[in-house]
């Protein structure tokens, strides 16, 4: 790597760090005032503009990071196609897919990864990421079976620890005439909610709960860091508000209770 390339790479890493800080500043638990966020954004925009002038491909890659941090889909799309016009490679599309998922655009991210995975030759990184997402969202059977030939060809192993749901939980829904598609839709909404509000460092514990009247699935979301209880309460309220708006999830929502604690 030449000296200028090293310098551009280091600048890209600096911008990535700044974007991470901006992402946290805009997150649900790290929310900063609008003036601070605006100042941070302007600072990064200035650095990105200079990088685009010096090294367009690296600069547009940095602009994708900034767009992701700002949850600006239009800007991400623009930066993505600009980067492709400079250098059409797999990494750009992978970063685009990851940016979409971080914005809560999970379905669009999956579509990009599937395009990269189900081709010849398949992208090993896309196949690996897609397998994680499929399993993470409970997308078993007809979803994972599509990946098996590609995983075998690339000598990839299945990671059983990436799932929200076990087979037993999927059987729970099947017994109540809830299709895997409905369950995937619910988990996709949940994943999008986490991403949209930059909810990180958490774990989801799922189990069936039975009382004398009914049986339901309990999703307990616990955080690796200590947060203000009032903020956690607000997050629960926000989740319920947004879930109610998802009318297509009404049936499965009667069987699933998700709480942040």
Phi and psi at residue 219, in whole multiples of 5°?
A: -105, 110
What is the secondary structure of 162-192 as a DSSP string? G-S--HHHHHHHHHTT--HHHHHHHHHHHHH
Would you say how long the chain is, in residues?
Answer: 261
pTM (predicted TM-score): 0.81
End-to-end Cα separation, the chain, in angstroms: 48
Please list the ranges in the chain whose pLDDT falls under 50. 162-164
Does one domain contain both 237 and 159?
A: no
Is the domain of 203 the same as that of 118? no
Q: What are the start-end ranges of the H helices in 27-179?
A: 34-54, 56-69, 73-86, 90-102, 106-117, 124-136, 144-153, 167-175
In this structure, are 174 and 244 located in the same domain? yes
Mean pLDDT of the chain: 87
**Both structure tokens of 141:** 């059977």
- The position carrying tokens 């994708």 is 64
Pair (216, 200) in one structural domain: yes
Q: What pLDDT is attached to residue 164?
A: 47
Q: 5 and 75: one domain?
A: yes
Cβ-contact 173, 141 below 8 angstroms: no
Last residue of a domain, one of 140, 163, 186: 163
Do 254 and 195 sit in the same domain of this protein?
Answer: yes
112 and 180 inside one domain: no
Last residue of a domain, one of 122, 140, 163: 163
Q: Is the dihedral of CA 197, 198, 200, 205 positive or negative?
A: positive
Distance separating alpha carbons of residues 191 and 228, to the nearest angstrom: 22
Number of domains the chain contains? 3
Select from 38, 53, 88 the last residue of a domain.
88
SS3 102: helix
Residues 198 and 126 in one domain: no
259, containing H or E segment: strand 256-260
Tell me: do 178 and 188 sit in the same domain: yes
Do 71 and 94 lie in one domain? The reply is no
CB-based contact 138:182 (threshold 8 Å): no
What range does the domain containing 242 cover? 165-260
Domain co-membership, 4 together with 46: yes
Beta bridge partners of 256: 217
**Contact yes or no for 51/62 (Cβ under 8 A):** yes
183-220 tens-digit pLDDT: 888 988 998 899 888 888 888 888 888 877 788 888 89
Say whether both 181 and 151 belong to one domain: no
């Amino acid at each position: 790597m030449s000296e200028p390339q090293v310098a551009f790479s280091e600048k890209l890493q600096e911008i990535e760090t700044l974007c991470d800080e901006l992402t946290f500043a805009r997150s649900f638990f790290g929310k900063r005032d609008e003036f601070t966020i605006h100042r941070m954004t302007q600072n990064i925009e200035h650095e990105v503009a200079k990088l685009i002038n010096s090294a367009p491909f690296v600069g547009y890659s940095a602009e994708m990071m900034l767009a992701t941090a700002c949850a600006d889909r239009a800007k991400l799309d623009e930066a993505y196609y600009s980067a492709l016009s400079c250098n059409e490679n797999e990494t750009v599309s992978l970063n685009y897919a990851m940016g979409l998922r971080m914005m809560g655009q999970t379905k669009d991210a999956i579509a990009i990864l599937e395009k990269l995975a189900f081709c010849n030759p398949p992208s090993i990184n896309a196949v690996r990421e897609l397998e994680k997402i499929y399993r993470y969202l409970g997308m078993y059977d007809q979803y994972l079976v599509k990946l098996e030939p590609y995983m075998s060809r690339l000598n990839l192993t299945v990671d059983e620890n990436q799932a929200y749901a076990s087979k037993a939980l999927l059987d729970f829904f099947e017994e109540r005439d809830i299709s895997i598609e409905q369950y995937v839709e619910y988990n996709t909404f949940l994943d999008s909610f986490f991403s949209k509000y930059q909810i990180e460092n958490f774990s989801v514990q799922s189990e069936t709960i039975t009382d004398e009247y009914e049986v339901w699935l309990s999703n307990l979301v616990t955080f690796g860091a200590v947060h203000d209880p009032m903020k956690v309460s607000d997050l629960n309220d926000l989740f319920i508000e947004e879930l109610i708006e998802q009318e297509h999830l009404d049936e499965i929502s009667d069987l699933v209770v998700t709480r942040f604690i």
